Amino acid sequence: MRFLFWSLFFASGVVMAQNNSTEVELGFEKDLIPEGIAVDLQHQKLFINSLRHNKVVRCNLDGSQAEDFIESRQHGYLSGFGMAIKGDVLYALGNSLPKPKNESILLLLNIKTGELINSFKLKEAGFAYLNDLAISSKGTLYITDSESNKIYTVNSKKGKLEIFYAHDELKHCNGIAISDDDKHLYFASYTSGLRVLDIASKTLVNQPNNFKGIDGLKFHQNSLVAIVNTKRDATQNGVYQFQLNQSLTEITGEEKIWNLRNESDIPTTFAIKNGCMYFVADSQLDHLDQEKVIISDVSKLENYTLIIHPLPKEN
């Protein structure tokens, strides 16, 4: 099966990069401005959402058969943010971009049909931005709010989003990850770096640090993989792997494992499947005016490229 999978990539004109990454050209509209991404290996499908068009699109993993999965604003969807797949369900976060009238929503969608399973709107008095999510092995959701110090979860009995944890040292969290044993949550905070939360005791177990500038974040083989995309020195942006100690509570080191193709590229979130990470090389976010939700110069937009990068194996 593995031989067949990679043969399909070669047959469709996929280019193998020098760093052993696979590049797949995607046929979606150039002004999509993708943020969230999810991969369904069972059906060989890629899902990405759109900041610009308030929708989710999908295609085959070789880039063919690009199509809308849900149309613009279908099921009340908003500008797309974090996404993940658990079983046959696609979890998709969305926010309205103009800040004065902000709304946030979580959709649960059948990955085969796009039918709505459930939806949750965040009802907060202040401004909120549901950014990214992590799902435990039992299906518990944890969601970051990049505009506050709050972490949300879904209360299935009450049928609503509610605060799971709040702490001033978790202000402006973006990426989130969960350990394979469901004991720890990991947060990429703009203010205090990579933080570790013991879920059972709801206690931050490590100290503030300078591991900042992180967008997407995932737990992988007792380490953390992250996309760094907001460093002032653009040469420091790229994909990093952060080593953890034996108890998985402290960051003990970091290694850059993938360089941006161009210094101006802005990858955002990613998915990990079978030891490979999947992400869009450049979201072209720098061409989007998020207040007016318009493209500054359409002529500068290019086709999107999916990167499939094999991750280093655990020693």
User: Is residue 8 situated within a structural domain?
Assistant: no
- Mean pLDDT, all residues of the chain: 91
Tokens of 174: 């973006």
**Does the residue 274 lie in any domain?**
yes
**Residue range 80-95: mean pLDDT, rounded:** 97
Query: How is residue 90 written in tokens?
Result: 């696609």
Q: Which has the minimum average pLDDT: 51-60, 93-102, 240-249?
A: 93-102
Q: Which of 121, 163, 125 is nearest to 141 (CA)?
A: 163
Phi, psi of 218 (to 5 degrees): -145, 150
For residue 1, being part of any structural domain is answered with no
**21 located within any domain:** no
Cβ–Cβ < 8 Å for 265, 280: no
| pLDDT tens digits for range 148-190 | 999 999 998 889 999 999 999 999 999 999 999 999 999 999 9
Q: Are 51 and 289 in contact (CB under 8 A)?
A: no
Residue 8, pLDDT score = 43
Q: Residue 108 carries which DSSP code?
A: E
Averaged pLDDT for residues 250-271: 95
Contact 293, 97 (CB under 8 A): yes
Residue 239 domain flag: yes
What's the domain range around 41? 34-310
Query: Six-digit token pair at 3?
Result: 């031989």
Q: What is the pLDDT of residues 246-257, one digit of tens each?
A: 999 999 999 999
- Asked if residue 29 is part of any domain, the answer here is no
Structure tokens at 192: 């205090």
In a domain, 6, yes or no: no
Reduce the DSSP state of residue 131 to 3 states and report it: strand
pLDDT of residue 291: 80
Q: How confident is the model at residue 214 (pLDDT cuts 50, 70, 90)?
A: very high
Confidence of residue 293 (pLDDT cuts 50, 70, 90): confident
The CATH number assigned to the domain holding 283 equals 2.130.10.10
- Number of domains within the chain: 1
Query: Quick one: 100 exposed, middle or buried, by C-beta within 10 A (0-12, 13-18, 19+)?
Result: exposed
Contact 67, 21 (CB under 8 A): no
pLDDT digits (tens, 9 = 90+) for 115-156: 999 999 997 767 888 999 999 999 999 999 999 999 999 998
At 260, which amino acid appears? L
**Helix ranges (DSSP H) in the chain:** 2-11
Q: How confident is the model at residue 2 (pLDDT cuts 50, 70, 90)?
A: very low
Structure tokens at 165: 């944890």
How high is the pLDDT of residue 266? 96
Candidates 74, 47, 61; CA nearest to 14 is 61
Separate counts of helices (H) and strands (E) for the chain: 1, 27
pTM of this prediction exceeds 0.75: yes
**Residue 241 · residue 254 · CB < 8 Å:** yes
Q: Could you give the dihedral angle defined by the CA atoms of residues 108, 110, 114 and 118, in that order, rounded to the nearest 10 degrees?
A: -30
In a 13 Å sphere around the CA of 173, the CA atoms on its Cβ side amount to: 33
Residue 16: inside a domain, yes or no? no
Q: Write the CB contacts of 10 (distance below 8 Å, at least 6 apart in sequence).
A: none
- C-beta of residue 256 within 8 angstroms of C-beta of residue 238: yes
pLDDT at position 99, please? 67
Mean pLDDT score, 216-224: 97
Inter-residue contact 26 to 304 (CB < 8 Å): yes
